[in-house]
Structure 1
Amino acid sequence: MTANDTTPLPQLAAPPKPPVQPAPAKMTGRQRLIMVLLLTSSFTLAVDFSILNVALPRIGADIGFSLEHLQWIATSFALCAAGFTLFFGRVADLFGRKRLFIAGMALLGIGSLLGGLANDPGLLLAARLAQGLATAAVTPAAMSLLTTAFSEGPLRDKALGLNGSLMAAGFTAGAILGGLLTDLLSWRWAFFINIPVALFVLVFAPRLLTESARGSRTKLDVPGAVNVTLALLLLVFGLTTAGEKGWADLLAWGPLAAGLILFVVFFFVEKNTEHALVPVAILRRNNIAWGNVAGVLAFATETSLVFVLTLYLQQVLGYTPLGAGLAFAVLGIGTVVGGMIAPRLIGKLGNKNTIIAGLTVQAAATGALLFINADQVSLVIVLSATFVGGVANLAAIVGFMVTATTGLPDTEQGLATGLTTTSQQIGITMGIPVMSTIIAAALLRHGSSGAPSQVLGAVLPAIGVNAALCLAAALLVALFLRKPAPVAT
């Protein structure tokens, strides 16, 4: 460079500033209140599934239910809760989730009041039907209100995690609460307890919730709605009958066969319907299809394991119904923990790996139960395994819920949550008949006198099948579940 050269000296580049990390999203005060409102209703509905189970003999004696007909107190509820969920999920999309949620909670309050005051079997069954319909309406509406209140990401994952943990804990809490209310007060309080919750929701829901935008379709697919509702009703009825009378009974396999035929008819009806209840395109989405398969198996394995262990605790270890219910408090704690850690796992591992890890750990925990025997020390194995299995199961369930509601616009969230809720109901209903069949077959081979050793010999094969189903579900997810497509706009 010469003395007269005026070329400017190059400027030293300033060191690059580190990228600004966005602050983690936080819930607003209104979102917190909405979540409390929706989770309270979901927990209450979950409690209703099991709160009357331990009180059935007392109810039968008080109002004249014969022993062979007691199961209809639970079956009538399950039929409506599972049969109408998909229908109401789509109604929520088309006509308003807030309206359906409030109407469903009002019906829950009315049905619970009638059930608590019932003095004859007909009125009690009508009350349970009303509670089942309320569950079918409120559950998908509440879920879709929850998913649309939080955009896809950590906040929605956290909300769904809390929802899943409280719903799972509700099944366990129902058994404990039912025993306490029946022993200390009356089985009627198992109905009355819902009334203040319904009133709480009816007071605050109109102020807190915002009505959802209606879907672009203005017509409801009536043929599709009737078809799928009948198919689900037949499926639940057949599964329930199979658990009570065996799979060879005409009332078991007959409705199951008819239900499966109606599902095939439903597919072709929807394929050729302009305003389909369930557009075939959504069923072809990989995450919707395989996410719900994982959900069915996750719910089927855990709820049926509770049934199997209830027999073990009472018939082998000699616990009372209330004592057995209290033993499952550890499972309830595990499900709450699982719901709390699931969003973090999803953030680190992703939806798919969270489901796989959850189902695999659940399989290992269930497999550990193969070492139980008639010794009271086995209770330690039961408590440890159900806690670990509860954590893992809830992680898988939250992963399934996030997966099966991802990649869809808000106008189809009611349909997506209706599908997830239907998967939940089918899983809960399907698992117990399968385990019952395995136990019944083992008792026939080794004697059915009900001796503790015979019951233990029947329970262990059911536990083994349960663990195998968990592993099979994890394998299916690993092989077939893919990352969901972006949200449609």
Structure 2
Amino acid sequence: MSRLAERIRGARTAGPTGFDRRLVVPMVLGSVLNPINSSMLAVALIPIGRAFGAPPAQTAWLVTGLYLATAVGQPVIGRLVDAFGPRRLYLAGTALVGIGGLLGMLAPNLWVLVASRVLLGFGTSAAYPASMSLLRAESDRTGLKSPSGILAALSISAQVIAVIGPTLGGLLIGAGGWHLIFGVNVPLSAACLVLGALWLPKTTAARSDVRTDVPGMLLFAVSLTAFMLFLTDPGTGRWYLPVLGAVSGVWFARRELALDGPFIDLRVLGGNVPLLATYGRQLLAYITSYAFLYGYTQWLQEGRGLSAPHAGLLLLPMSLAAIVVTALTGRRPQVRGKLVVGAVVQLIGCAALLFLGAGSPIWLLVVLGVLFGIPQGLNGLANQNALYAQADPARMGSSSGLLRTFTYLGALLASAANAVFFRSGATSAGLHGMAWLLVAVAALFLIACLADRSLSRVGRDA
């Protein structure tokens, strides 16, 4: 194996200008680990709750645990990627995915299962910033200014997993129970480890110009975790969480502003208004996306009375529409038109939720899935392309990690909304209440896309 790896690395060095296509497979495979764990769980919450006799308020921790770990882990691991190179973090993260999957498959109770989801969250945090860092390095080597085709491949692969995930999850549950949706991580992790060891370029030494700033990472983690834990179950009895988050956040900001080589360079970030706007759009887009993914799927099972496999199949139109849209538009680096169209269709889809009920015909549910698939195929890819153009190349790992942090902040806010509106079960009345909130969020997203004039410059010179 070592000789094969040497020949592969030699071939990479010998290639004068072309993008090393061997990198694409481990990048794509590693980057889909998080979406597959997110999407399969959507149809497993009800069966897991029944298996452990746990109410929705407790099974929601299966969602929250992964997203807490991912939201904290993405920028932290992204900064470690900047410092130590993508290969090491990719291999460590994907190994952790296998451990988390094995723990979940053997979990004797709900809270061990939650712990496995936390491990999966940290493990799956490595591949995306590692992939973005590899893309930047390859672009510098080849002179390719905007690798929109490779970025589209990463996005399409996530959309394909959105197709496979809920449907595969439903089929696995029907075939052998919910344990199998955790067990699938073991062979995926093994494949990532083998391909990553063979094909990812080795980093000879840590970069001396990049500091890891461990105290800053810890303060960031404490602040973000405290705020997110409060959002999962807000109430006056948990007042200490936002206080802890605010105190550690202020301490974090003061430290980062005074430090040479901080974890997150707040001066640079604060002066990069277009990048901050991209983070804000990502947050708004994924509040809607994840509220629909989890809330609508639970409503299909409880409010509409469908089985887990049937609910998974009804998500196929959404994912297929997203794949088609991404495939048709992915190679175009321009983003403003994609975001505006995605925002308008997303707003229409949220309003359409108000008309669903226990007797809604299947054709209407199919049409609704297609509607939500269009912004899913446009918004995430456009924000990813915008970040690639706006971020400091030296901080591509941590900047792309922060993009994922805002993605999962949106997921946590969506989870909190689901908990509020489905407190008495996933009823049609609860779905309609959530729909009004999503209409407001989608309208804000549309305004943010229309107001950001800098988007028209992204991709213009690619």
Counterparts of 2:408 and 2:449 in 1: how far apart (Å)? 20
Residue of structure 1 equivalent to 2:214: 222
Query: Which shifted more, 417-426 or 65-74?
Result: 65-74
CA positional deviation for 1:191: 2.1
Aligned to 2:389, what secondary structure does the other structure show? coil
Query: Which shifted more, 314-323 or 221-230?
Result: 314-323
Aligned to 2:248, what secondary structure does the other structure show? helix
CA deviations over 1:257-315 (Å, ceiling 9, x no partner): 53244334322221111111111213421221001111111111111022332243233
Q: Is the 8 A contact 1:341 1:395 kept in 2?
A: no
Q: Does 1:180 align with 2:166?
A: no
Amino acid at match of 2:342: G
Mark the runs of 5 or more structure 2 residues left unpaired by the alignment. 1-16
Q: Is the 8 A contact 2:136 2:396 kept in 1?
A: yes
Q: Using structure 2 for the length normalisation, give the TM-score.
A: 0.84
Residue of structure 2 equivalent to 1:471: 443
Q: Does 1:428 align with 2:401?
A: no
Map 1:270-281 → 2, pairs under 5 A = 270-280=256-266, 281=268
Q: Is the 8 A contact 1:366 1:466 kept in 2?
A: yes
Q: 1:307 to 1:485 in 2, by over 3 A?
A: closer
CA positional deviation for 1:155: 5.7
Residue of structure 2 equivalent to 1:462: 434
Q: 1:352 to 1:284 in 2, by over 3 A?
A: farther
Amino acid at match of 2:131: A
Residue of structure 1 equivalent to 2:389: 406
Which of the numbers 79, 102, 120 marks the counterpart of 1:113?
102
CA positional deviation for 1:386: 2.3
Q: 1:150 to 1:362 in 2, by over 3 A?
A: farther
CA deviations over 1:343-380 (Å, ceiling 9, x no partner): 35x44xx3233222221222123323333344332x32
CA deviations over 1:457-489 (Å, ceiling 9, x no partner): 332232233133122112123224525799xxx
CA positional deviation for 1:81: 1.6
Aligned to 2:260, what secondary structure does the other structure show? coil
Query: Which shifted more, 424-433 or 205-214?
Result: 205-214
Which of the numbers 195, 201, 204 marks the counterpart of 2:192?
201
CA positional deviation for 1:49: 2.0
Counterparts of 2:62 and 2:298 in 1: how far apart (Å)? 20
Which of the numbers 317, 327, 345 marks the counterpart of 1:361?
345
Residue of structure 1 equivalent to 2:8: none
Which of the numbers 144, 154, 173 marks the counterpart of 1:163?
154
Query: Which shifted more, 147-156 or 294-303?
Result: 147-156
Q: Is the 8 A contact 1:42 1:139 kept in 2?
A: yes
Q: 1:124 to 1:432 in 2, by over 3 A?
A: closer
Q: 1:117 to 1:461 in 2, by over 3 A?
A: closer
Q: Is the 8 A contact 1:98 1:211 kept in 2?
A: yes
Q: Which has the larger radius of gyration?
A: 1
Q: Is the 8 A contact 2:64 2:412 kept in 1?
A: no
CA positional deviation for 1:231: 1.7
Q: Does 1:322 align with 2:309?
A: yes
Q: Is the 8 A contact 1:112 1:194 kept in 2?
A: yes
CA positional deviation for 1:41: 1.8
Q: Does 1:340 align with 2:327?
A: yes
Amino acid at match of 1:365: G
Amino acid at match of 1:84: G
Residue of structure 1 equivalent to 2:356: 372
Counterparts of 1:126 and 1:435 in 2: how far apart (Å)? 22
Residue of structure 2 equivalent to 1:88: 77
Q: Using structure 1 for the length normalisation, give the TM-score.
A: 0.80
Counterparts of 2:69 and 2:245 in 1: how far apart (Å)? 15
Kindly tell me the number of residue pairs found equivalent between the two proteins.
Answer: 438
Amino acid at match of 2:340: I
Query: Which shifted more, 267-276 or 87-96?
Result: 267-276
Q: 1:83 to 1:329 in 2, by over 3 A?
A: same
Q: Is the 8 A contact 1:290 1:477 kept in 2?
A: no
Aligned to 1:84, what secondary structure does the other structure show? helix
CA positional deviation for 1:59: 4.8
Q: 1:369 to 1:260 in 2, by over 3 A?
A: same
Counterparts of 1:60 and 1:389 in 2: how far apart (Å)? 27
Which of the numbers 62, 72, 75 marks the counterpart of 2:64?
75
Residue of structure 2 equivalent to 1:139: 128
Amino acid at match of 2:212: L
Q: Is the 8 A contact 1:78 1:236 kept in 2?
A: no
Q: 1:354 to 1:140 in 2, by over 3 A?
A: same
Residue of structure 2 equivalent to 1:40: 29
CA deviations over 1:216-257 (Å, ceiling 9, x no partner): 53422122111111122223322223xxxxx33534x64245
Amino acid at match of 2:215: P
CA positional deviation for 1:427: 1.3
Amino acid at match of 1:222: V
Q: Is the 8 A contact 2:152 2:327 kept in 1?
A: yes
CA positional deviation for 1:118: 3.5
Aligned to 2:125, what secondary structure does the other structure show? helix
Q: Is the 8 A contact 1:38 1:146 kept in 2?
A: no
Counterparts of 1:165 and 1:235 in 2: how far apart (Å)? 32
Q: Is the 8 A contact 1:109 1:194 kept in 2?
A: yes
CA positional deviation for 1:323: 1.5
Amino acid at match of 1:259: G
Q: 1:351 to 1:249 in 2, by over 3 A?
A: same
Amino acid at match of 2:323: V
Counterparts of 2:342 and 2:190 in 1: how far apart (Å)? 37
Which of the numbers 272, 278, 298 marks the counterpart of 1:291?
278
Q: Is the 8 A contact 2:291 2:418 kept in 1?
A: yes
Q: 1:256 to 1:153 in 2, by over 3 A?
A: farther
Q: 1:273 to 1:231 in 2, by over 3 A?
A: same
Q: 1:405 to 1:30 in 2, by over 3 A?
A: closer
CA deviations over 1:64-112 (Å, ceiling 9, x no partner): 6755644434333222122222111101101111110011111111222
Mark the runs of 5 or more structure 1 residues left unpaired by the alignment. 1-27, 242-246, 441-447
Q: 1:148 to 1:339 in 2, by over 3 A?
A: farther
Which of the numbers 88, 98, 110 marks the counterpart of 1:99?
88
Amino acid at match of 2:416: P
